[in-house]
Amino acid sequence: MNFMLQIRKLRDSLLLQEDLNFLLTNRLPRREITRLMGWFSKIRNPLVCRMSIATWRMFTDLDLSEARSNSFQSLHECFTRDLKPGSRVVDSDPQVITSPCDAIVGATGMVQSGEVFQAKGFPYRLEDLFGQAERAMPFEGGTYVTLRLTSTMYHRFHAPSDGRIDHVSYLSGDTWNVNPIALKRVERLFCRNERAVIRMSLADGTPFALVPVAAILVASIRLHFLDVLLHLRWPGPNEFACNQAVKKGEELGWFEHGSTIIVFAPSGFTLAPGIESGTRIQMGQPLMKLPTSRTDPAPMTQVSARELPLPAAGMATG
């Protein structure tokens, strides 16, 4: 009897924590707080930076042991830190699609009748996420994986395969938190938030898409191949035609704190072994497999973001 009572108390405590988390992160003026955080994070003062990181570590498991440098002039530099050479291994098998980022795997599955799920019981229309129905059509019957970046993770994202960036759509929006609590309570959350739809073609011309979704405290997406900063105050244009060749593992851009990337592949692609909700994955590890698998596995290659060639176009700095 006492055991069951303790279980109920623990359950009620966890539910209360979820309610408080949801209230604090989603019932406050999200856009204003996000802009304030963006300003504060770029204050270049070593003392302010050290105090901010110390406070951050009090509430999270922030680990900077892999950072190329631990000497940060601002909190922004810590958020967007680069890694030491060889910190990530990129699977070089051309039949393997690798994870574009460090993440915790969220919802996965198949696109059915134009719908996917952000959490159990919470579907959303792919055309709403992409902004246009025709842009979602190539992925009907295909596979999707939701990758959630926590605030402490490595925040840069990379090309999952050799290919070409064809087009980017920037859709401004809200800045809801994208943690599991919010995903279970806010319908169509990813379709409401600020996001960039990156459409690309793999080496054989197969369509592929990455959708970085920003969130509270995060709303700023930077892409190396666009010389603009995509953020809440960006006035447009919102459509960018691209013709940028990329190599697997090449750095594409970054979030300025942490958020979500949803990966879409057309019919025939399958999830790599072990990819399921709750799995932790690093950039460069297998995420999906092409329809025709190779029988002779290719060797693994150690790479660093800074060792890979960057596009000629510059990247806006903040």
The residue ranges of every structural domain in the chain are 2-79, 88-307
DSSP the chain: -HHHHHHHHHHHHHHHHHHHHHHHHHSS-HHHHHHHHHHHHT---HHHHHHHHHHHHHHS----TTBS----SSHHHHHT--B-TTSEEEE--TTEEEPSS-EEEEEEEE-BTTEEEEETTEEEEHHHHHSSHHHHGGGTT-EEEEEEPPTTS--EEE-SSSEEEEEEEEE--B----SHHHHTTSTTHHHHB-EEEEEEEETTS-EEEEEEE--TTT-EEEETTSSSEEETT-----EEEEEEEE-TT-EEEEESS--EEEEEE-TT-EEPTT--TT-EE-TTSEEEE-SS--SSPPPEEEE-GGGSPPPSS-----
20/28 Cα distance (integer angstroms): 12
Structure tokens of 30?
């999200």
Which pLDDT tens digit goes with each residue over 93-104? Answer: 999 999 999 999
* Prediction pTM value: 0.79
pLDDT category, 258, cuts 50, 70, 90?
low
Say what the pLDDT of residue 117 is.
95
Say what the pLDDT of residue 294 is.
42
pLDDT category, 209, cuts 50, 70, 90?
very high
Query: Which residues belong to the active site?
Result: 102, 158, 259
Structure tokens of 145?
């994986």
| Region 167-185 average pLDDT | 82
Residue 115, strand partner residues: 112, 125
Q: Are 197 and 264 in contact (CB under 8 A)?
A: no
Out of 95-99, 175-179, 216-220, which region has the weakest mean confidence (pLDDT)? 216-220
Say what the pLDDT of residue 236 is.
61
Q: Are 276 and 106 in contact (CB under 8 A)?
A: no
- The segment with the largest mean pLDDT, out of 50-64, 178-192, 261-275, is 261-275
Structure tokens of 76?
């922004």
Structure tokens of 195?
């996001």
Neighbour tally for 307: CB within 10 Å: 11
Q: Are 167 and 240 in contact (CB under 8 A)?
A: yes
Query: Please, how many CA atoms are within 13 Å of residue 210, restricted to the half-sphere of its CB?
Result: 30
**pLDDT surpasses 70 at 284:** yes
Instruction: Kindly state the percentage of the chain with pLDDT values over 70.
Output: 73
Structure tokens of 7?
């279980």
Q: Are 100 and 159 in contact (CB under 8 A)?
A: yes
311 vs 124: which has the higher pLDDT:
124
